[in-house]
Amino acid sequence: MSAKIIHKTVNLKASPERVWQVLLESPYIEEWYAEFGEDLKVETDWSPGSKYRVVDKNGFGMIGKIAENVPMKTLSIEPEGMVKDHKDDFESAEAKQLKGNRETYWLSETAEGTKLDIESACSEEYADMMADMWDKALVIIKKLSEK
């Protein structure tokens, strides 16, 4: 797979603790994740090495692991496969395309609050669509963080 790296940055008038809460905790995560799919549910305890599963109401999604979690600083997720019809799939060609990618969030404290950087790898064919989804998700993250 030819991967394209999407990089986005947003400055938030909120503490790193608040931004971290919005990124990882319910009900906030479901609100901004909605930009990537309808009724997505996240299953993980967020600890490094733990399983990460995000699945929509129809049983489709992505499975991976938490590669890194430094609270209020860095979160990295490594996709390892797909979820199809509520079943984990690591072997299909589509699932194998996800392996080796990473989605990473970096938070840094600023005088005004927090700078959030994200990097997300995806295939070239979906890069424009994913970049647009990230733009919309970051608007929601900003709104929730600055409440």
Residue 46's pLDDT band (cuts 50, 70, 90): very high
| pLDDT for residue 140 is more than 80 | yes
Mean pLDDT of 37-64: 93
Distance CA 140, CA 22 (A): 10
Beta-strand runs (E) in the chain: 3-12, 41-43, 51-55, 61-70, 74-84, 87-89, 103-109, 114-123
The model's pLDDT over 64-123, given as tens digits with 9 standing for 90+, comes to 999 999 999 999 999 999 999 999 999 998 888 888 788 999 999 999 999 999 999 887
Distance CA 137, CA 145 (A): 12
Query: Which tokens sit at 38?
Result: 């309808």
Whether cis (ω within 30° of 0) applies to the bond prior to 27 is yes
Mean pLDDT score of the chain: 93
pLDDT at 2: 64
CA distances from 3 to 121, 123, 128 (A): 6, 5, 12
pLDDT at 44: 95
pTM for the full model? 0.90
